[in-house]
Amino acid sequence: MTVLTVGRRNFLGLALAGVAGVAAPMLGEPLAASATGVDYAGLKRALKGPLLRPGDAGYAASARPFNAALGIRTPAAIARVAGTDDVRTCVRRVRGHGVRLAARGGGHSYAGFSTPDNGVVVDLSALKSITVKSNGTAVVGAGARLIDLYAALAAHGRALPAGSCPTVGVAGSTLGGGIGVVARAYGLTCDHLTGATVVTADGALHTVDGNHDADLFWALRGGGGGNGGIVTSFTFGTVPAPTVTIFSLRFPASRTARVLRSWSAWMDAAPDRLSSLCAVTAAAAPTNRVTGTWTGPAAALPGHLASLITAVGAAPTSRTTHTYGYLAAMKYFAGCLNETVTGCRSAGRESFRAASRMLEHTVAASTADQVVGLMRRQRGMVLLFDSLRGQVARVKGADTAFAHRGAHASVQVYSGNAANGAAVLAVQQALAPIVGSGAYVNYLNPGQRDWAKAYYGANLPRLRKVIRKYDPDRVFDFAQSVLRA
């Protein structure tokens, strides 16, 4: 079969051209805008790693958020910490001065909350060590990127389910839950977290797991990055690296509503080893694409695909399949299949607007028609329905802070047009009565008004209590902090 190599970001960007962005509104009562009161000279002397201030060499590049649509950011200082002691020093010297203190792993925060204006950025990028033990346990620094984790695990025949963008930080992805392309087969990234080291708002270092600071450990699994403390390392249980068969199907645009409805019912009946995404791209006649992964025997996949094709009632206009090892599969989705790991790591900044909802139920015919009708009125936008349930739903909703265990899929509203912020937000609002009012905290939207309940659902009261315990003075404050919920 023909192999179509296209990364998730590249796929999202098809026909979505980016232009200059518009700043999104911030929510809640802000901290003092002034960065006065912090002894930056003393902080610089106390750190082993460098402290960058405006005007310093390297500051401008380091101050840019990954999402270029967010414009220019001007933090008061960026601490490129050399280790946990530096993190503790930053917390102790900055807290209490009315200055935002934000941890930054990969820097991919959709809203740019990890690079606040007038704040102090604790840049964890140097904390990127990865140790894989003989029992498959992986100890991962908070500055590690997904592609480096995949490569390190692959060398030991192991894998961890996580996202597909290669330069996304392990930290932020895990703390928000960690939806990935094999989620139904292996669950979320946070489901494999067995422990972590965390610097809390008082500057203390905690080693947390199910028996030590268990409430904070619970919050780290889906409670969102930036809340409660700065994680400096993660300990994961991993799985044997599977062989992955990747597939992609397109159907005539006239069948898009039928594709969405059929895909939804198909995923309801699918075995856990099958995960997939259904994309509906805006146009006068919205187009469709179904991509996915199968971790069972490759020979069994055609029968599953035939079931979907029969339900759609039309032959696909294109169809591709290919089987890879786990690392190659993740490079495929990253758009760097034929690159080295170093090449995969070199992906540059992007400009986009995004938001999300959670699909609560199987898509009915009327729901599919409404979704397609909504996208008929948009341009430069795509809805990405990422299948859940399977192993994700095997964990009870109260067992981790991730609140969407019963959701049928996540729905990302994505545009590569930086001027499309208002349209993305409008589509997200319009989707709530159609698909459900939940949202995924790793797809932050700073203009979203129902964010607290949408991100955390029934887990919000417990999560708020835990975060207040470890950060009573709102040291790690930001516009969508749990303590503002």
259 inside domain: yes
100 inside domain: yes
8 inside domain: no
Among candidates 409, 364, 411, which has minimal Cα distance to 390?
409
Residue after which a domain boundary falls, among 63, 95, 123: 123
293 and 184 in a common domain? no
The b-or-e profile of 441-469 (16+ CB within 10 A means b, else e) is bbbbbbbbeebbebbbbebbebbbebbee
> How far apart are the C-alpha atoms of 323 and 245, rounded to whole Å?
4
284 and 427 in a common domain? yes
404 inside domain: yes
pLDDT of 184 reads 98
406 and 452 in a common domain? yes
449 and 343 in a common domain? yes
DSSP H/E element including 251:
none
Residue after which a domain boundary falls, among 123, 144, 165: 123
183 and 102 in a common domain? no
479 and 432 in a common domain? no
> How far apart are the C-alpha atoms of 240 and 347, rounded to whole Å?
28
> How far apart are the C-alpha atoms of 231 and 222, rounded to whole Å?
13
14 inside domain: no
Tokens for 342, please give them.
């170093």
290 and 170 in a common domain? no
292 and 228 in a common domain? no
CB 266 within 8 A of CB 308: yes
CATH at residue 203:
3.30.465.10
185 inside domain: yes
264 and 389 in a common domain? yes
How many structural domains compose the chain? 3
**Residue with structure tokens 């207040």?**
468
Give pLDDT tens digits along the chain (485 positions).
333 333 434 444 333 322 222 233 333 334 443 446 899 999 999 999 999 999 999 999 999 999 999 999 999 999 999 999 999 999 999 999 999 999 999 999 999 999 999 999 999 999 999 999 999 999 999 999 999 999 999 999 999 999 999 999 999 999 999 999 999 999 999 999 999 999 999 999 999 999 999 999 999 999 999 999 999 999 999 999 999 999 999 999 999 999 999 999 999 999 999 999 999 999 999 999 999 999 999 999 999 999 999 999 999 999 999 999 999 999 999 999 999 999 999 878 899 999 999 999 999 999 999 999 999 999 999 999 999 999 999 999 999 999 999 999 999 999 999 999 999 999 999 999 999 999 999 999 999 999 999 999 999 999 999 999 999 999 999 999 999 99
pLDDT of 179 reads 98
Q: Which domain covers residue 56, as residue numbers? A: 34-123
CATH at residue 87:
3.30.43.10
373 and 290 in a common domain? yes
> How far apart are the C-alpha atoms of 104 and 114, rounded to whole Å?
5
420 and 322 in a common domain? yes
pLDDT of 34 reads 44
Amino acid (one-letter) located at 376: R
430 inside domain: yes
Q: Report the DSSP pairing between strands 77-80 and 120-123.
A: parallel
12 inside domain: no
